[in-house]
Amino acid sequence: MSNSKIVIAKDLYLGYDNTIVLERSSFYLERGEFVFLTGASGEGKTTIIRHLYGELKPKSGYLNIGGFDMNKISGSKLTTLRRHIGVVFQDYKLIKEWTIDKNVKLPLMIAGVSEEIQNREASKLLSKVKLAHIADKYPYELSGGEQQRAAIIRALIHQPVMILADEPTGNLDDYSSKLVMDLFKFANKLGITVLIATHQLPVDFDVRYRHFHIEGKKLHEVS
């Protein structure tokens, strides 16, 4: 994953089942960029995100992520690719029977990192987002904002090359949304490419970003 372009799409058609949500689109994402993907509900933001972490295969066209051709990627290579990507969802997707601490450590456990490093990294990041005192609690014992902060920590703890977030502030109040956005900025400062799919751009966003908008099955960059 040494190229500066982390995502390359050419003449891409994306969709699911018999539905096409994106037609003949070409774009790229550079390493370390902050990117917003906007569009109305049902336009296909989630479908694009799902293609970017390999849950769906492109209908046609070329999509390369981190050097992997997503049309031809094998199961084992997809597993490898996903270890370099962090994902964040509107509904957090924390493992409900695990504590926050264990949830946050999941990518490091998968990577086979020693327990000592897992504990150190989890403790450092949970302290940063002021969740250290509730590390041993279960997701259902936390507020939506706290769960989402934990989910973002989980997405960046293994220092991925890219974080994909699908409506990460969709269920949160303004205060929690701001905390969550601050976390994405922090991740981006570490050099991680951040792509956030949202129906609305945040106000007073003080980080340089690129903005893509999807409408009528076309994706265009807003200057």
Partner 1 sequence: MKYLRNHIFLIFALVSILFSMEIYFLFNKIVKTYEEKIVKNYTVIVVSKKKLDNLKLENVSNIEQINITNSLKNLDSQLKSFNLDVNKIKNTLPYFYKLHLKNFPTPNSLDKLEKTLLKNPDIKRVESFRQNQNQIYNLLLIIKLVAGIFMLIILFISMLLIIKQLEVWKFEHSQRMYIMELFGAPFWFRSAILIRLAVVDSIISIALIFGIIEYLLSSEMYQRLLYQLGINVDINIFYDLSLFFFISLAISIFASVSVVLMKKDEVL
Task: Write out the residues near partner 1 by the rule CB under 8 A.
Answer: 53, 55, 78-87, 93-98, 106-107, 109-110, 154
Taking the least distance from each CB to partner 1, the nearer of 109 and 190 is 109
Q: What is the 3-state secondary structure (H, E, C) of 141-173?
A: HCCHHHHHHHHHHHHHCCCCCEEEEECCCCCCC
Three-class secondary structure assignment of 61-124: EEEEECCEECCCCCHHHHHHHHCCEEEEECCCCCCCCCCHHHHHHHHHHHHCCCHHHHHHHHHH
Q: 26, 30, 38, 32: which is closest to 7 by C-alpha?
A: 30
Q: Which residue, 117 or 207, is less far from partner 1 as judged by CB?
A: 117
Closest CB to partner 1 among residues 95, 201: 95
**Is there a contact between 43 and 21 (Cβ–Cβ < 8 Å)?**
yes
Minimum distance of partner 1 from residue 83's CB (angstroms): 4
Closest separation between CB of residue 200 and partner 1, Å?
25
Tell me how far, at minimum, the Cβ of 73 lies from partner 1, in Å: 12
Q: Report the residue number, 38 or 53, with the smaller CB distance to partner 1.
A: 53
Nearest distance from residue 187's CB to partner 1, in Å?
15
